[in-house]
């Protein structure tokens, strides 16, 4: 009798899992909390630094190819600001290409973004830090992504926790320590800010589409 009771309890929980046991599970695309940052036709709401020609749109995709430049999401009012969030984007790289997605950053006219973190996009570039790396904080030597194939990057920031998924495989699960101060990178810390896409060099070609974000509590 006790055996049958145990089996029934296991069956009930298997068919009715406790809510919240999978906090990193992806949210349905139909969830209205997701906001499109890229309309597939224009760069409205975005602003490029240094070399605007590095970013263009072809067939509903942002093509990144050209001299160093960064494309910042400014929002309709120019004051885009996110603290706790989940960001998703489809990405494709050509061989030997390098790019990145910054968060908690802010617009600057030139140079590499000084504020916020960078999540690396690089499957085969000479820089060994591969796609999904939290650049120069948690570096990966391998990645589930492949050149010439679309993959999905998902970045989740909740308080001091940073989680990165590549094709829904968790590759980074990092908790920022108190009083963080990375050598030579004083702005690399969790705060709040916007996102930007990196144009790394003229030999790199990277594609972005379906860029979406949702705010978290």
Domains of the chain in start order, with CATH, are: 35-215 (2.60.120.560)
- Summarised one tens digit per residue, pLDDT across range 89-124 is 999 999 999 999 999 999 999 999 999 999 999 999
- Which parts of 112-217 fold into alpha helices (H)? none
pTM value is 0.86
- For the chain, how long is the longest CA-to-CA vector? 74
Gap between the terminal Cα atoms of the chain? 45
Quick one: how many helices (H) and strands (E) in the chain?
1, 13
- Summarised one tens digit per residue, pLDDT across range 22-81 is 445 555 555 679 999 999 999 999 999 998 899 999 999 999 999 999 999 999 999 999
């Amino acid at each position: 009798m006790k055996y049958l009771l145990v089996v029934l309890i296991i069956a009930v929980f298997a068919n009715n899992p406790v809510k919240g046991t999978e906090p990193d599970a992806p949210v349905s695309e139909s969830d209205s909390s997701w906001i499109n940052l890229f309309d597939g036709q224009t760069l409205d709401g975005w602003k490029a630094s240094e070399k605007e020609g590095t970013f263009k749109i072809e067939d509903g995709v942002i093509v990144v190819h050209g001299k160093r430049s960064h494309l910042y999401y400014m929002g309709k009012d120019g004051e885009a600001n996110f603290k706790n969030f989940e960001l998703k984007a489809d990405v494709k790289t050509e061989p030997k290409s390098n790019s990145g997605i910054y968060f908690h950053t802010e617009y600057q006219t030139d140079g590499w973004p000084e504020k916020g973190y960078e999540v690396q996009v690089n499957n085969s570039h000479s820089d060994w830090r591969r796609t999904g790396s939290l650049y120069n904080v948690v570096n990966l030597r391998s990645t589930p992504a492949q050149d010439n194939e679309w993959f999905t990057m998902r970045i989740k920031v909740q308080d001091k926790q940073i989680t990165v998924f590549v094709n829904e495989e968790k590759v980074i699960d990092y908790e920022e320590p108190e009083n963080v101060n990375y050598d030579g990178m004083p702005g690399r810390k969790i705060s709040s800010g916007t996102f930007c896409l990196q144009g790394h060099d003229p030999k790199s070609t990277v594609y972005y589409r379906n860029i979406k974000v949702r705010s978290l509590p």
